[in-house]
């Protein structure tokens, strides 16, 4: 993969020189006949299919991408002062030498710290107390030096505290390499295993590491293997091979530290396989997978806890004693019964209580359930907020650590005592120059066209007047059951300070209002996600939060599918559309099982090899529904090495939009040549593109500077 990247970089340099001056007119991609056929006989013409180059080395493709970057540079040149101002404002809200709250595990306090001006943190620990000498685990600034992209995924310290195993990606394709470092000496003792997922678990022998091997073509998680430090990767023992390509794989040790578990999960079915963490026993199935049945497990004391949708659309929490046959559901007992109003999303067991993440009325909150059955919810003071469980590495404590934030309140780490209710603030993320008292967050409800009430979280300046003249920045996602929680974003004060309103449309397709919220926004009900977003825009305009056609829509990845479809369905409602790594070529991608993620997602979008699903997806696929119409201004970005939404999806979309759209509204395509799905790496560099597209957005909406 590194060789491929270097070869592509050489081609890019030669291609870029041919487009050194900003192009006065948009690049025009050649049209080449190509047909995409479905198994049942349907055929579509895809004249820009040639822009797909899996090697990332085709000089014609790289030249066209370079021309798009050059054209974007030329069109955005006049906005450089605003972009620089925004970048300075946004990064100015990042504390230059910030550090995390230490957490305790096996006698050590672990934390990470940023030095002033550094893009990457140092991960370190101290034995017993923060006054002890520092031991560096991962000096990421040094490790990232000279790399165009750098990311550390999972890292885990061995049970004897001697080694740190970590997953490293230096391309952006999420094909990690396993490395093992001896902490005391800093010496790398193993780096033979490549192309793995971002998940690692140690066995108790301090020599064996469980990891997930990826398919080199589809990048699907396929096999769980056991690697012994110092032995060749070819000797790694196969633990499990997943034959069903609709399943993902993850790993973890249980809260009790007694078991290592493999989790196999898809949209509609899960399975757990666990073994003693000693590494001496076999992995056995906790309960066999069934279509439509989802569950997750953890272990504490002498019992298993099971989170399950068994006769519970919003999930229930159950207990199974160690002595029971875990697959026999008649032996499972409710700890938290099913609810129509509270959706259980996650849980964390402790010796004396269980912490539960649940969603109620569009907000995520935390509830504490004591072993004696007493239940209490952690209080919040704002109408729209997010609580999430923080790092709680040791279960033998009465204190739960959690994170609280809102669109006004920066991330704040609290501890709450499960017995007394006492709460103490450990840290609030420092945001230099930011005064939360100057901003207001709201929760409003928009009525969708089918009568459904959609939660919307807002933030604006305290001096904002709701008079129907403001510009609106509306964001959304609406897929995979992934909720768009009202969280703090360090860029948004720059919008609110200029009189804008920022809105999170918590549309169907997420799980903001429970599992039914997700089910009503996927498969043959996917259209609800798109109409919800449009109806939220129209509601906010009608309620005078914004002026007509002064709305910017933003979404990334599956949220890019949202943006592309919204642009086709209601271009007159938006002044500008901004989308990153957008999934916009849904039919062609879902017809190709060799593309990463395709087979995993048949239960999300449908399998277009079947005609009903084909026809439904074709009805909204952004690439397939481009027409000769007056689109709003559009900013699109992608990463050449994206493994989740391949760069050629937005490339083809832009090419066809250029051909068909009417009017003079700009269409810009920014290609990050050294990045993947997450964009540029590093805590400062990631905001360079954000400053650029925000400047473009403000300019198109006429936001006063």
The catalytic site residues sit at 557, 642, 677
Please tell me the distance from the alpha carbon of residue 154 to that of residue 543, in angstroms, as a whole number.
45
Query: Rounded CA gap, 686 and 639, in Å?
Result: 12
The phi, psi pair for 535, rounded to 5°, reads -70, -30
SS3 assignment, position 467: coil
In 571-681, the DSSP E strands lie at 576-580, 633-639, 667-672
CA distances from 531 to 145, 548, 565, 653 (A): 46, 17, 10, 21
Other CB atoms within 10 Å distance of the CB of residue 191? 13
- C-alpha span between 261 and 670 (Å, rounded): 41
Q: Which two tokens stand for residue 637?
A: 């970005």
Residues 416 and 400: their CA atoms lie apart, in Å, by 5
Rounded Cα gap, residues 117 and 99, in angstroms: 13
From CA 623, how far away is CA 590, in angstroms rounded? 13
CA triple 167-172-176, angle to 5 deg: 25
Report the alpha-carbon angle 39-44-47, nearest 5. Answer: 135
C-alpha span between 141 and 85 (Å, rounded):
26
- Spatial strand order of the sheet with 151-157 comes to 151-157, 163-169, 176-182, 188-202, 208-214, 221-228, 237-241
Q: Computed over its alpha carbons, how large is the radius of gyration of the chain?
A: 25
Q: List, in order, residues 6 or more apart from 5 with CB less than 8 Å away.
A: 56, 171, 641, 674
Tell me how crowded residue 270 is: count the other CB atoms within 10 A of its CB: 23
Angle between helix 80-92 and 686-701 (nearest 10): 130
């Amino acid at each position: 993969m590194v060789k491929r990247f270097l070869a592509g970089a050489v081609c890019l340099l030669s291609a870029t020189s041919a487009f050194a001056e900003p192009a006065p007119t948009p690049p025009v991609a050649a049209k080449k006949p190509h047909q995409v056929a479905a198994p049942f006989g349907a055929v579509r013409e895809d004249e820009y299919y040639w822009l797909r180059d899996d090697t990332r080395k085709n000089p014609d493709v790289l030249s066209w991408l370079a021309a798009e970057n050059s054209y974007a540079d030329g069109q955005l040149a006049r906005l450089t002062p605003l972009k620089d101002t925004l970048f300075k404002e946004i990064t100015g809200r990042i504390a230059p030498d910030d550090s995390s709250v230490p957490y305790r595990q096996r006698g050590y306090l672990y934390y990470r710290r940023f030095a002033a001006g550094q893009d990457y943190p140092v991960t370190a620990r101290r034995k017993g107390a923060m006054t002890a000498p520092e031991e560096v685990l991962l000096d990421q600034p040094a490790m990232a030096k000279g790399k165009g992209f750098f990311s550390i995924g999972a890292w885990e310290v061995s049970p004897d505290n001697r080694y740190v195993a970590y997953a490293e990606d230096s391309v952006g394709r999420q094909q990690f390499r396993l490395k093992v470092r001896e902490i005391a000496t800093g010496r790398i003792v193993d780096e033979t295993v490549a192309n793995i997922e971002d998940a690692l678990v140690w066995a108790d022998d301090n020599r064996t590491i469980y990891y997930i091997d990826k398919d080199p073509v589809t990048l699907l998680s396929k096999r769980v293997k056991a690697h012994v430090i110092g032995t060749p990767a070819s000797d790694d023992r196969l633990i499990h091979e997943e034959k069903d390509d609709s399943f993902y794989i993850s790993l973890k040790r249980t809260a009790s530290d007694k078991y290592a578990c493999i989790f196999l999960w898809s949209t509609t079915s899960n399975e757990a396989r666990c073994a003693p963490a000693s590494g001496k026993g076999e992995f056995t199935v906790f309960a066999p997978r069934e279509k439509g049945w989802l569950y997750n497990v953890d272990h504490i004391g002498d019992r298993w806890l099971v989170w399950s949708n068994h006769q519970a659309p919003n999930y229930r929490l159950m207990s199974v004693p160690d002595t029971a046959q875990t697959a026999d559901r008649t032996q499972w007992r409710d700890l938290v019964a099913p609810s129509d109003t509270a959706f259980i999303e996650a849980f964390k067991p402790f010796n004396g209580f269980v912490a539960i993440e649940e969603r109620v009325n569009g907000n995520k909150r935390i509830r504490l359930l004591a072993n004696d059955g007493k239940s209490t919810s952690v209080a919040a003071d704002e109408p729209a907020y997010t609580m999430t469980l923080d790092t709680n590495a040791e279960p033998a404590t009465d204190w739960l650590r959690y994170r609280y934030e809102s669109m006004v309140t920066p991330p704040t780490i609290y501890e709450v005592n499960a017995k007394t209710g006492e709460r103490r603030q450990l840290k609030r993320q420092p945001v230099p120059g930011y005064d939360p008292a100057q901003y207001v967050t709201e929760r409003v409800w928009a009525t969708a066209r089918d009568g459904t009430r959609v939660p919307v979280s807002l933030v604006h300046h305290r001096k904002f007047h709701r008079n129907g003249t403001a510009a609106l920045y509306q964001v959304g996602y609406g897929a995979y059951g992934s909720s768009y929680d009202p969280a703090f974003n360090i860029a948004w004060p720059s919008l609110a300070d200029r009189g804008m309103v920022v809105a999170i449309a918590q549309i169907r397709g997420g799980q903001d209002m429970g599992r039914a919220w997700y089910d009503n926004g996927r498969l043959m009900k996917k259209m609800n996600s798109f109409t919800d977003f449009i109806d939220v825009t129209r509601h906010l305009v009608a309620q005078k939060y914004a002026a007509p056609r002064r709305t910017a829509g933003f979404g990334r990845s599956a949220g890019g599918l949202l943006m592309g479809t919204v642009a086709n369905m209601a271009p007159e409602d938006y002044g500008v559309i901004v989308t990153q790594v957008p999934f916009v070529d849904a039919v062609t991608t879902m017809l190709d099982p060799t593309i990463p993620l395709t087979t995993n997602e048949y239960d999300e979008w449908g399998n277009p090899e079947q005609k009903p699903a084909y026809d439904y997806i074709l009805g909204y696929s952004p690439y397939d529904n481009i027409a000769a119409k007056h689109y709003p201004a559009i900013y699109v970005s992608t990463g050449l090495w994206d493994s989740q939404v391949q760069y050629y999806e937005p490339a083809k979309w832009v090419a066809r939009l250029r051909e068909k759209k009417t009017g003079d509204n700009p269409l810009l395509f920014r290609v990050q040549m050294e990045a993947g799905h997450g964009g540029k790496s590093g805590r400062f560099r990631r905001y360079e593109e954000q400053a650029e597209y925000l400047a473009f957005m403000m300019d198109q909406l006429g936001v006063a500077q």
